[in-house]
Structure 1
Amino acid sequence: MSKKPIVVGSVAYDPKIVTIWDIIRDYFNDNGVRLDYMLFSNYEAQIEYLLSGKIDIAWNTNVAWVRTYELSNHKAQALLMRDTDIDFKSVFIAKSKSNIKSIQDLKGKKFGLGSADSAQAAILPLKYLQNELGENIKDIELIRYNSDLGKHGDTGRSEFDVLEDIKNGKLDAGAIGISTWVRILEEGLFPAGEIESFYTSVGYCHCNFTVLESLDENIKKTFVDMLLKQDPNDPIIKKMMQLEGLNKWVVTTQTELKGYDILAQAMKEQDLIKNNW
């Protein structure tokens, strides 16, 4: 084993994160590669630790990736992501009987946005509304639900706050991530047919393992190779993948990187590049 462990940062938005990273750490160590992890209460702290070289790799949201890339003067690199991080989408929802069938129907309505640092529930939905409506966005009453700030929407709590207020009539419509929408449909969290989607965004990319370009190439290669070699049929690995919400790890290529372009544009327009820790 190497003397110094590869140190990976992850944000502890849920108790399951400890289980996920214990499994990944043990997998690496059992295969002769020392790895340890550091947990953070928010992405802003994790970004600071990566930029200052206190951790080698950060398991980042798309917002944390864009911020790291910009603040490092484009000296950051995305190594790897989940298959489910590709083609992520935002969904706009309303009560089925509301007669809201498109973004144009939102004029004069109350529209809920999730946590201000959530790409899927706030940053990109605002961008999509601006793209569609231009100056007429002022005709919509935007209501923000800033729960769990610092977690970049990982907990999904703000999305369920939006859903709840659509259900009880405080909102006419709102934005959530596709994973939350799928969960609602699969688990029957709301009465069938009560809420429907009227807009689904184009696909974009979500999380990735971020490093600084200056990190030793051998560490980068070892980390990527080890994750790609994981056997999803191994019961322990399967458990980790289910908890982390993936079927397989995939290498981040130029194609996937294009999936962050619209978010980078939106974050610059909304003055969200600065890392306020």
Structure 2
Amino acid sequence: VPHEDFHIRRFDVLVGKHGDHVGGELDALKCLQRREADACAMLDFNWDRWSADGTINPDELRILATTDKFDHCVFTVRDDFPPDKEQQWLEVLFSMSYDNPQHREMMDLEGLKQWLPGRTSGFDALAEASALQGEN
């Protein structure tokens, strides 16, 4: 049970600006490596990248559990956001092609091959995990 069986430590980086998963996850990893924590969470993309570049020594750390796949790049706008600007953004976003080397570089950094339309389904595991942490 969170806050009883274990303590949750957050590593919020750039929250409220545009979100972050690299900086916060790297901070959590460094905390683990300093033995200030017993575990940390990160995207598989970061585990793979940091294992390849030597940031993580896979002989010293191991994966305890994985989640089902989930949407991690989610863009939202306020209700009063101008519809023409939203449409312009979507057109630019969906015009990106993994076959274009300039687009591919950024898409590889995000761990994706194409952008998909937004949806409100598929977030059950995230909602459940947030509820367990008291983050409703």
Does the CA contact (< 8 Å) of 1:145 and 1:161 recur in 2? no
* Aligned-CA RMSD value: 3.4
Structure 2 distance, partners of 1:144, 1:177, is 17
Asked if the contact 1:203–1:259 (Cα under 8 Å) also holds between the matched residues in 2, the reply is no
Question: Could you tell me how far 1:139 is from its partner in structure 2?
Answer: 3.0
Equivalent pairs, count: 134
Matched, 1:193 2:63: no
User: Is 1:144 aligned to residue 15 of structure 2?
Assistant: no
Q: Which residue of 2 aligns with 1:261?
A: 124
1:185-212 deviations in Å (ceiling 9; x for gaps): 2323233421101111233322222234
User: Higher helix share goes to which structure?
Assistant: 1
Q: CA deviation at 1:218?
A: 5.3
Specify every segment of 5 or more residues in structure 1 that has no aligned partner in the other structure, as ranges. Answer: 1-128, 131-136, 273-277
> Counterpart in 1 of 2:102?
236
Partners in 2 of 1:258 and 1:146 — Cα distance?
A: 26
Structure 2: gaps spanning 5 or more residues: none
Superposed displacement of residue 235, structure 1: 3.7
Rounded to whole Å, the distance in 1 between the matches of 2:88 and 2:107 is 20
Higher RCO (CA < 8 A, seq sep 6+): 1
Residue 213 (structure 1) shift: 5.5
- Name whichever structure is richer in strand by fraction: 1
**TM-score of the superposed pair, with normalisation by structure 1:** 0.38
Larger Rg: 1
Q: State the percentage of identical aligned residues.
A: 28
